Amino acid sequence: MALSGIQIYKVLPQTNCKECGVATCLAFAMKLAARQAELSACPYVSDEAKAMLDTAAAPPIRLITLGAGDRKLEVGNETVVYRHEKTFVHQPGLFLRLPASLSDADFAAGVDKVAGYTVERVGQMLRTDGVAIEGASADAFAARVKQAVDKGLAVILLASDPAVIEAGLAAAGNTKPLIYAGAGADSAALAPLAKKYSASLTVGAAGDLEALAAATEKAVAAGAEDLVLDPGMTGWADALALPAQLRRAAIKKNFKQLGYPIIAFPGSLSDSAEEEAMLASLLIGKYAGLIVLDRFDQAVVYSLLALRQNIYTDPQKPIQVSPGLYEIGEPEPGSPLLVTTNFSLTYFSVAGEVEGSGRKAWLLVADSEGLSVLTAWAAGKFDAEAIAKAVKTTGVAEKINHKSIVLPGAVAGLSGELEEELPGWKVLVGPRESIGIPSYLKLLASQ
């Protein structure tokens, strides 16, 4: 269980010595509670406090690493059940399953497809993480694993014969592969292998959480540390229910035996690429750590990467809309130009009022880092300079035939400066509250 700032404060020295770099012991305690500071920064902390805080700080879901180099993938270490509580921190890995039956050429093409796929979205490069390689003979398996590892991909070894697995492990070198020996496999028996090659190991139990917990306990006893869970989903409802129970057990009950990331194979429960994509979407939204796809259509992968990017953002950031020029009701060159900030609720109320008025307008949304008009203005993020910049970067001047811009009434004080920033423009002061917009637009139209 996480401790509150006050609980931690009670065991700190309470001298406000500031040597940890924070103004007061309470502020330091609050940082510790939020995991934004290390206890070692306090030179005077007691052993008792240390012991208490170390226990509280252990992550309820173990962090598992796959792959190496710049494609190193980390999953697990999640601390919440619901996304609004705190960021989901480690995006689920997306893998393509490459069956043993593939020809060498098709296998190579599959590896290339995964290794070569990368797409930019809102400033981030998105890509898939690796391949799940099915093993038949030890030699062929080793060759294929090596091929994938050479391309920098993380690999999951889909094999049940320990000899084949070991060949794959050897070929993977120090790239931290994951062993997946099938839902019914005796994972404890594979634990020594996993340990020897610093690989992680999948533990499965078809639909039975008690059996799954027993199996992880056995695997740990046999020396394995980094485990991944395959709870054995037999249908779509299972694919929601089992991860939900695992997540709750790990986080709400701090049940270590089930505190590992989850692997899922949506393709085996789907009839088409689209269905597979939808099940994968459900799993991205709720609690999968590794998702192995059977099909690799670009449109599918792109939509999943976009969703993964969305879900794993910080929920504490204010909801924003993209800055830019918005058209409300097919505006014409003569329609008025209004400016506001990119905090979503601000945008919604302004756009909503303009829409509700039935009139056309250009709405210039300046980048205020998601703050509302007054807050952004207070913090220097919605000033004449920022508005002038938005006017220039959006090229709104080419779309309208006038040079008037309507400021929110709350920042009427900016009008003088804005006229200086935008020579030749006329600054009008709009209503202070968005509810005044319809009558204001009516007035503008009447002139």
Residues 182-221 that bind other proteins (CB under 8 A): 209-210, 213, 217
Smallest distance, other proteins to C-beta of residue 163, A:
33
Query: Measured from the CB atom, is 192 or 356 closer to other proteins?
Result: 356
Report how far residue 357's alpha carbon sits from residue 404's, in angstroms, rounded to the nearest whole number.
20
Number of residues that bind other proteins (CB under 8 A): 121
- Compute φ and ψ for 227, nearest 5 degrees: -115, 155
For other proteins, the binding residue among 278, 295, 324, 396 (CB under 8 A) is: 278
345-371 as b/e, with b when 16 or more CB fall inside 10 Å? ebbebbbebbeebebbbbbbbbbbbbb
* C-beta closer to other proteins: residue 186 or 217: 217
Residue 58 or 299 with smaller CB distance to other proteins: 299
Rounded to a whole number of angstroms, the minimum distance from the CB of residue 160 to other proteins is 26
Question: In degrees, to the nearest 5, what angle opens at C-alpha 406 toward C-alphas 405 and 408?
Answer: 140
Tell whether residue 117 is a contact of other proteins (CB under 8 A): yes
Q: How far apart are CA 438 and CA 269, in angstroms?
A: 52
Burial 142-178 (b: 16+ CB within 10 A, else e): bebbbbbbebebbbbbbbeebebbbbbbebbeebbbb
Residues 291-320 close enough to bind other proteins by CB under 8 A: 297-304, 306-307, 310-311, 313, 315-319
Residues 133-172 that bind other proteins (CB under 8 A): none
Taking the least distance from each CB to other proteins, the nearer of 330 and 398 is 330
Are 282 and 264 contacting, i.e. CB atoms less than 8 angstroms apart?
A: no
Q: How far is the CB of 254 from other proteins (least distance, A)?
A: 9
Cβ contacts of 150 within 8 Å, gap of 6 or more: none
User: Does 91 interact with other proteins (rule: CB under 8 A)?
Assistant: no
Nearest to 292 by CA among 323, 322, 309, 269: 269
232 counts as binding other proteins under rule CB under 8 A: no
Residue 442 beta carbon to other proteins: minimum distance, rounded to whole angstroms:
9
For other proteins, the binding residues in 16-75 under the rule CB under 8 A are: 16, 23-27, 30, 33
State the amino acid at position 378 in one-letter form. Answer: A
* Residue 416 CB contacts under 8 Å (≥ 6 apart), including other chains: none
CB of 172 to other proteins, least distance (A): 28
Which residue stretches of 264-358 are H helix? 273-285, 298-311, 344-357
Closest CA to 276 of 299, 264, 263, 294: 294
Instruction: Work out which of 84, 103, 105, 395 binds other proteins, going by CB under 8 A.
Output: 84
Q: How far is the CB of 235 from other proteins (least distance, A)?
A: 6
What is the helix (H) or strand (E) element at residue 257, kind and residue range?
none
Using CB under 8 A, which of 70, 380, 395, 398 touches other proteins? 380
Site string for other proteins, 398-417 (x = CB under 8 A): ---xxxx----xx-xx-xx-
For the bound state, the minimum distance from the C-beta of residue 129 to other proteins, rounded and expressed in Å, comes to 16
Q: Which CB atom, from 63 or from 306, has the smaller least distance to other proteins? A: 306
Is residue 94 within the footprint of other proteins (CB under 8 A)? no
CB 304 within 8 A of CB 280: yes
Query: Does residue number 248 form part of the binding site for other proteins (CB under 8 A)?
Result: yes
Task: Report, in Å, the least distance between residue 262 CB and other proteins.
Answer: 14
